[in-house]
Amino acid sequence: MAYQRLWRTRVGRLTLIMGAAALALLVFSGLASAQVALPEAVTEQGDSIRALFFVVLAIGVIVFVIVEAMILWVVFRYKRKSDDELPTQVAHNATAEILWTGIPTVIVVVLFIVSFFVLQDIQAAADPDEDVVVVDVQGRQWAWAFNYAVPLGTELSEPISPSLSETEIHLEDPSLVVPFMTLKLGVEHMRVVSRTGDVVTVDRAVNGTVAIRHQAGAEVMRVFNGTDTVAEGRLQAADNTPIVTVPVGQMIRFNIASADVLHAFYTPQFLTKLDAVPGRVQTLWVRITDSGDFKSQCAEYCGRDHARMIYTVRALPLAEYEAWFSDKAGEAPAPIEGDFGGEEEVEQQEGAIGNPANGQQLFFSLGCNVCHGDFGEGVVGPTIAMTIVPLDRVILQYREPLEAMSVFPPDQVSDDEIADIYAWLQTVPRPPEADVIPSKLAELIEAGG
């Protein structure tokens, strides 16, 4: 047989072995490609990363082939048959030593230079005169919230320090501030608690942001929650996937923060990810080139429901994005004259129990707004404003939640504190489109009699 004759020679055996390896690689490449191949990039930064990957891969393949070929040649050329056929022993060869030191050094230096410039490129901020879309990303066990901001129409009239104890700010026009509003100065979010005269009391560094120094004259922004959802059932009991909406062709700045533990903002088609680190706000710059929906997920293990912490990046043509943004931002709240805030200012429904002012603070500090919206209007989770679920069933939902809600043990929030949250929810008007009670909540009410 021809293959038997071929096997009798060293070159023949080497050819058969290499051919079998190539055939096996070809057979399994289809199966392996789904796991190891890079996805197509949908950002300019991703294109740079993809190009760098293939440069490194090409150099690695060339080195691998040369080294393996030399190993195989030595194995078959000097295969020991007798003591008389040992290869000549060489104690020193200056040329060989220069080559095996110089060539790797050149390769490493080239890769370092190329990688350095690619890294500089993908981390570069937008040009100073370029329009930038800013999205504030908040990660929390176990959900994502995506916030946007528009100018409030006023400026900071006095500087404030980074100290968390500093809760009073002065604005040129404090009448523009209304209860429950979230303000933005730089990357820091502040939640309005009350107003007395021209002094606005705020909770600082909310939504996972950090307190920083702000100079007088800094522009004050009004934050709104731009998180949409899509019911696609990607995971059991997690039918509503949060969506972050961005434009195609415009530079986007993601300000990424965490309210509790490490998370990671990861969209495979971006070919990069960035951790959400507690106590820091990190920035990811991208310019998306293709429209579409891109499935994404947290890529840093963050606890029990890490696998459910998924989201979708929705990239729209610029005109569609601007229409979406305008609709989401809505009209600015009407200015309010006079003071507001404090427990006595909150109107309760007849028969409500608990402290609604404290309940409002707990609603945000526990992260209930991430899933249910700043006013309980429903985002990833259902609408709970003006909830008609009995208090005892609400407490049970905190302790033994249905669907994907996190468990809140008594040492994290007591029954009395849940009653405070419940009392505050009774003061928040239910949005008109949320008249239908979600089926799971209806079952919960029925189960409670």
**pLDDT tens per residue, range 125-141:** 888 888 899 999 999 88
Q: Are residues 331 and 233 located together in one domain of the fold?
A: yes
Buried b (16+ CB within 10 A) or exposed e, 243-255: bbbbbbebbbbbb
Instruction: Give the DSSP letter of residue 391.
Output: H
Q: Are residues 96 and 233 located together in one domain of the fold?
A: no
Q: Which residue has the higher pLDDT, 235 or 87?
A: 87
CATH number at residue 280: 2.60.40.420
Q: Which residue has the higher pLDDT, 400 or 121?
A: 121
The pLDDT of 245-274, averaged and rounded, is: 93
What are the tokens at 58?
């090409």
Q: Cα separation of 444 and 408, whole Å?
A: 18
Q: Are residues 352 and 326 located together in one domain of the fold?
A: no
Q: In angstroms, what CA-CA distances link 252 with 134, 140, 299?
A: 6, 22, 21
**Beta strands across the sheet bearing 263-267:** 228-235, 238-247, 310-316, 292-298, 263-267, 272-276
CATH number at residue 414: 1.10.760.10
Q: Are residues 308 and 187 located together in one domain of the fold?
A: yes
What is the tally of structural domains in the chain?
A: 3
| Of the residues 299, 326, 341, the one at which a domain ends | 341
pLDDT class for 213, splitting at 50, 70, 90? very high
| Of the residues 321, 341, 361, the one at which a domain ends | 341
445: left (phi over 0), alpha (psi -120 to 50) or beta: alpha
**What pLDDT was estimated at residue 16?**
65
Closest by CA position to 135, among listed 143, 146, 120, 145? 146
Q: Cα separation of 72 and 66, whole Å?
A: 10
**What pLDDT was estimated at residue 281?**
93
Closest by CA position to 349, among listed 428, 285, 403? 428
Q: Are residues 179 and 215 located together in one domain of the fold?
A: yes
Q: Are residues 11 and 96 located together in one domain of the fold?
A: yes
Residue type, position 163, single letter = S
| SS3 assignment, position 123 | coil
Q: Cα separation of 27 and 38, whole Å?
A: 19
**What pLDDT was estimated at residue 237?**
42
- What lies within 8 Å, CB to CB, of 430 at 6+ separation is 383, 385, 386
What DSSP string describes 146-214?
EEEEEEEEEEBSS-B-S-TT--EEEBS-GGG--TT-EEEETTEEEEEEEEETTEEEEEEEETT-----B
**What pLDDT was estimated at residue 324?**
94
* Under 8 Å between Cβ of 327 and 289: no
What are the tokens at 305?
């429901």
Q: Are residues 349 and 327 located together in one domain of the fold?
A: no
Instruction: Give the DSSP letter of residue 142.
Output: T
Q: Cα separation of 250 and 289, whole Å?
A: 9
Q: Are residues 218 and 319 located together in one domain of the fold?
A: yes
Q: Are residues 8 and 78 located together in one domain of the fold?
A: yes
Print the domain residue range for 293. Answer: 130-341
Q: Are residues 325 and 376 located together in one domain of the fold?
A: no
Which of 208-212, 229-233, 277-281, 296-300 shows the lowest per-residue confidence on average (mean pLDDT)?
Answer: 229-233
pLDDT class for 372, splitting at 50, 70, 90? confident
Q: Are residues 318 and 170 located together in one domain of the fold?
A: yes
Which of 111-115, 303-307, 310-314 shows the lowest per-residue confidence on average (mean pLDDT)?
Answer: 303-307
Q: Cα separation of 25 and 3, whole Å?
A: 21
Is 70 exceeded by the pLDDT of residue 70? yes
| Tokens 């707004």, located at residue | 369
| Of the residues 341, 365, 395, the one at which a domain ends | 341
Q: Are residues 194 and 138 located together in one domain of the fold?
A: yes
Write down how long the chain is: 449
